[in-house]
Copies of this chain bind each other. A is one copy, B any other.
Amino acid sequence: MHTVFSDGSVWPDIRVIEAWQEGLDALVISDHIEYLPHKSDMIINHNRPFEIAQPIAKNYGMILIRGAELTRSNPPGHLNAVFITDVTEMDTSDYTVALMKAKEQGGFIFMNHPFWKSPKYPVVNGKVDWFKEHEELYKLGLINGIEIVNDREYYKEGYRWAIEKNLVKMGNSDIHHPTNMYFDFSKDDHRAMTLVFAKEKTLESIKEALFENRTVVYYSDKLLGDEKFLREIFNKSITISKKFYKQSKGTKFFIQVENNSDVTYTLLTSGKVEGFNLPSEVILHKNRTIMMELTPQSKEMVGIFKVKLPFIVSNLLINHEDTLPVEFEIEVELE
Contact = CB atoms under 8 A, between A and B. Distances in A.
Interface in A44-65: 45, 48, 52, 59-61
Contacts of A187: 187
A133 to B, nearest CB: 30
A181 B59 contact: no
B10 A60 contact: no
A231 interface: no
Contacts of A17: 177, 181
Interface stretch (A35-43, A124-132, A144-152, A222-230): A35-43
B59 A253 contact: yes
Contacts of A291: 59-60
B256 A177 contact: no
Interface string A1-45: 000110011110110011001000000000000000010111101
Interface of A: 4-5, 8-11, 13-14, 17-18, 21, 38, 40-43, 45, 48, 52, 59-61, 177-178, 180-181, 185-187, 241-242, 252-254, 256, 291
Given A9-B11, A41-B45, A185-B186, 17 more contacts: A4-B11, A8-B11, A10-B11, A10-B14, A11-B38, A14-B177, A14-B181, A18-B181, A41-B42, A41-B48, A41-B52, A59-B252, A59-B254, A59-B291, A60-B254, A61-B256, A178-B180
6 contacts: A5-B41, A10-B178, A14-B177, A59-B291, A60-B254, A61-B254
